[in-house]
Structure 1
Amino acid sequence: MNSGLKFLSCILLLLFTIGRAQEKIVIGEKHALFSKILNENREIWIHFPKTYNDPTISPAKYPVIYLLDGEINFEYYTGMSDFLARPPYADIPECIVVGIKNTERTRDLTPTKSQKKSPVNPNLTLFSDSGGSENFVKFIQEELKPFVHKNYRTQDYTVLVGHSFGGLFAINTFLTHPEYFNAYVANDPSLWWDNKVMISRTKEYLEKNKQFPAKKSLYVSQADNEEQQKNWNSDMTQAIEEFKGIVEQNSSLHYKHSFFPGEVHGTVSYPANYEALKFIFKGFRTDIKQLAKNPGQLEADYRKLSDRTGTEFLPSETYLNTVVKFMKNNDFKETETYFINFKNKLYPKVK
């Protein structure tokens, strides 16, 4: 090979290598949404399930998770939700995740105006920009949700996830607007806020309504802040325990409280969110091996989940393809035919 051809070959190889090196793994997209309610632009980050743009299956609709403190939680949470939704071991359905980036965090996530004075300067009020949660939840319900539902294929099932002040916000929303979401996650919530105002509101809610709304889920995690018990974490721990005692007396709510030894306030969200998703969608996972013996169990399991949540959940086309393949590979011919017919019934091919 002469020098000219060698040079050309090197250039082509370099261009090919650069082209391959530019391939990217994308976990979502960013949008700027102007809020008339808040009178400001809000940045939201949206993650799509792996099958969202899959041309080999019928276009599906997906539950939506609204994730507070998006700039902190979005990257790990989206990978976690995808992992939990992978067939054939899916514990949850595939979900769209909407991360909400903060502007004025204390303002948006706290329910009342702070009157707390600084311990070192009595003339200074701490958290002076607090008390705007009602406007913020109005933004989510009346502006953000309609935007998401209009532009993406969404199922009528939503989850609100928050940590610390975000957990306080989640519980306050659950008490004041329980119809806004189907499930609420509050990780190490700041229930110490404003002399434990959420404890008072919880008692008032039950005195007025007697029980919590049916077909809702509430998950509360608690960090192990033992080494910091002499500061504000002590108040937080006591308030969470008090809230737990009140809620656990009410049997109508799909509720779980989890304590995480060794996890502090700043780390508890990661393991808690994993457990929370499995708890909210408990009953979603089916045993593919058992379906070979009892194919009707799949429909029965999904009916049970749908009854508990008040939302119709169906086996995805992707999962049914996995089931059919399993039956074929293991020579369960009758069961294979059953699930082929079941899949065609749920997802008829457009001619």
Structure 2
Amino acid sequence: MNNWFKFLYLPVFLFFLSGKAQEKINIGEKQTLFSKVLNENREIWVHLPKTYGDHTISPAKYPVIYLLDGEINFEYYAGMTDFLARTPYADIPECIVVGIKNTERTRDLTPTKSQKKSPVNPNLSLFADSGGSENFVKFLQEEVKPFINKNYRTQEYSVLAGHSFGGLFAINTLLNHPDYFNAYVANDPSLWWDNKVLISRTKAYVEKNKKFPAKKSLYVSQADNGERQKNWNSDMTEAIEEFKEIVEKNGSLNYKHRFFEGEVHGTVSYPGNYEALKFIFNGFRTDIKQLAKNPELLEEDYKKLSDRMGAEFTPSEDYLNVVIKFMKSNGFKESETYFMNLKDKYYSKK
């Protein structure tokens, strides 16, 4: 290579290299809205599915996951949903994730005013600002959800996910406002709160209503807490297990409890959220090889899923494109034709 060419080649190479280095990977966008309910500005973080802006397919609507403690959970959760929704191995539909950032966490997520004393200083009340969860759930229902529904393409299916006080909030919302969300996730919920007030509320709910609302899901994870041996919130485990016993005696709720050995309170939400999504959308995954033999199985599976979840789910256009490509490349002509017709049925460009 001549010296002059080397001299020219290097700057050109570095130019293209630097240009590529400036490309950014974005996982979401921040939105700020003023809450009349809470009388303050609140920040929410929104992650959109990978196909949301894909102009080669028809605009789709997506389920929405409302994620508490957004500043802690949003980054990993957004990637987790994309991973679980990847075709052709999707365990869940693509979802919009809305992370709600905290301002006054204890105020917003706790159901009652508690004067629990510090175990190291009995003269200190730990939760002086507690008990504002009714205002916060009103903020979610009357302000956040309408904002998301107005500005994004949303499906009528939503999930509320929380950890610790957020898990307490999720269960309290299920008991008091079961219709606000379709599914609830409570990772290591603080059911010890205020002398186990939610245990009493759960018993009262079952006594009054006899059963939980149909087609609702609740997932509860439980950490292997070292605090139990340290006498710090030692009633955490007992309260979760007591709640589990009450719910399992009432078989109407689509419920799962999972104990994570080796995970402490601060880490359990990661595996808990992963398993919760697979549990909530159980039945969403289809076997593409089986579809080659029995193409009608796809609509049958989605009908079963929709009936179980109380909301309509249909195969996405993106997934149908994958199925059609698979049938074509493997010589399943009849199945290819079937799925092309199915695509026209759901996503006609007329």
TM above 0.5: yes
* Partner residue in 2 for 1:337: 337
The aligned amino acid for 2:193 is: W
Distance 1:6 1:336 in 2: 52
* Partner residue in 2 for 1:261: 261
1:244-281 deviation digits (Å, cap 9, x = unpaired): 00000111110000000111111111111110000000
Unaligned runs of 5+ in 1: none
Contact between 2:37 and 2:139, CA under 8 Å: does it hold in 1? yes
Contact between 2:228 and 2:235, CA under 8 Å: does it hold in 1? no
The aligned amino acid for 1:324 is: I
TM-score, normalised via structure 1 length = 0.96
Contact between 1:162 and 1:185, CA under 8 Å: does it hold in 2? yes
Contact between 1:225 and 1:233, CA under 8 Å: does it hold in 2? no
Shift of 1:327: 0.9
Q: Map 1:70-85; keep pairs closer than 5 Å.
A: 70-85=70-85
Distance 1:261 1:274 in 2: 16
* SS of residue matched to 2:262: coil
* Partner residue in 2 for 1:34: 34
Provide the aligned C-alpha RMSD in A. 1.5
Q: Map 1:262-281; keep pairs closer than 5 Å.
A: 262-281=262-281
Contact between 1:192 and 1:235, CA under 8 Å: does it hold in 2? yes
Distance 1:81 1:301 in 2: 21
Shift of 1:121: 3.5
* Partner residue in 2 for 1:208: 208
* Partner residue in 2 for 1:131: 131
Shift of 1:319: 0.7
Most deviating of 224-233 and 125-134: 224-233
* Partner residue in 2 for 1:18: 18
* Partner residue in 2 for 1:231: 231
Contact between 2:228 and 2:237, CA under 8 Å: does it hold in 1? no
* Partner residue in 2 for 1:146: 146
The aligned amino acid for 1:216 is: K
TM-score, normalised via structure 2 length = 0.96
Unaligned runs of 5+ in 2: none
Distance 1:296 1:233 in 2: 53
**Is 1:347 the equivalent of 2:347?**
yes
* SS of residue matched to 2:235: helix
Shift of 1:11: 4.5
Shift of 1:330: 1.1
Matched-pair identity in %: 80
Q: How many residues in Structure 1 have an aligned counterpart in Structure 2?
A: 349
Shift of 1:7: 6.3
Shift of 1:177: 0.4
Shift of 1:225: 1.3
Contact between 1:48 and 1:95, CA under 8 Å: does it hold in 2? yes
Distance 2:125 2:3 in 1: 80
**Is 1:52 the equivalent of 2:56?**
no
* Partner residue in 1 for 2:110: 110
Distance 1:46 1:232 in 2: 35
1:169-224 deviation digits (Å, cap 9, x = unpaired): 00000000000000000000000000000000001111111100001000000001
Contact between 2:227 and 2:233, CA under 8 Å: does it hold in 1? no
The aligned amino acid for 2:109 is: L
